[in-house]
Homo-oligomer: A and B are copies of this chain.
Amino acid sequence: MLKATKESKGPDDGRRGDIVRAAARLFRDKGYDGASMRAIANAVGMQCGSPFYHFASKQDILVAVVEEGLRQGLEKTRAVISPSLIAREQFLALVKVHLSIILEEGNDFIPVMLYNWRCLDDMHQRRLIATKDEYDAIWQDAINALAKDGLIQSEPKFARLMILGSMNFMVTWYKQRPGDSLETLADKVVQFCLCS
């Protein structure tokens, strides 16, 4: 009786969630245009027309991927926010969680958003940008605190763009190696960004 019934609206439940995850993987690997509906369908063992039982269009699948990414990202990010942390430790925690969001295997949603944003209709962009702004606001607060402690010297708004940009671009070059962890990487990011 504790299990979700058919009324469950969990975004990754059932076949719909399978499609979203498979699409995210394929969009990340081949791009939105490069991943065909047939490839997405086959990746979850369906025939080529069947995803359209769950989604009205390919565009709607992309929207679902980005929404799921923002939802998970905001959830994980809010979970490491703690007023008791000093600025540097709060920043390190944010860097760690962001690196896991964009680099950890299976976390394809945010990379898809970052590199396929322009494939979204204007309407969907406008709607989703509000959630993106929430994400940015969390970072801005943490970076403002760094500035107050003298740990960065740039304008905090510019620093946010540089910091998130340098991490987001890691998607294009980071290859997971057995030796090093994302924790080590996070330490290096903090060391690079802060002057102390």
**A residues apposed to B, CB below 8 Å:** 30-31, 33-34, 114-115, 117-119, 152-155, 158-159, 161-170, 172-173, 188-189, 191-193, 195
B188 touches A155 (CB 8 A): yes
- Top 9 nearest A-B pairs (CB, nearest first) are A165-B169, A33-B33, A195-B195, A166-B166, A154-B192, A165-B166, A162-B166, A169-B169, A162-B192
List B contacts of A168 (CB < 8 A): 165, 169
Q: Closest CB of chain B to A175's CB: distance in Å?
A: 12
| Partner pick for A31 among B31, B152, B154, B155, CB 8 A cutoff | B31
CA of A117 to CA of B167, assembled, Å = 18
Main secondary structure of the interface of A (DSSP, over half): helix
B158 touches A192 (CB 8 A): yes
B33 touches A172 (CB 8 A): no
B33 touches A188 (CB 8 A): no
CA of A193 to CA of B166, assembled, Å = 11
CA of A36 to CA of B177, assembled, Å = 37
List B contacts of A169 (CB < 8 A): 164-166, 168-169
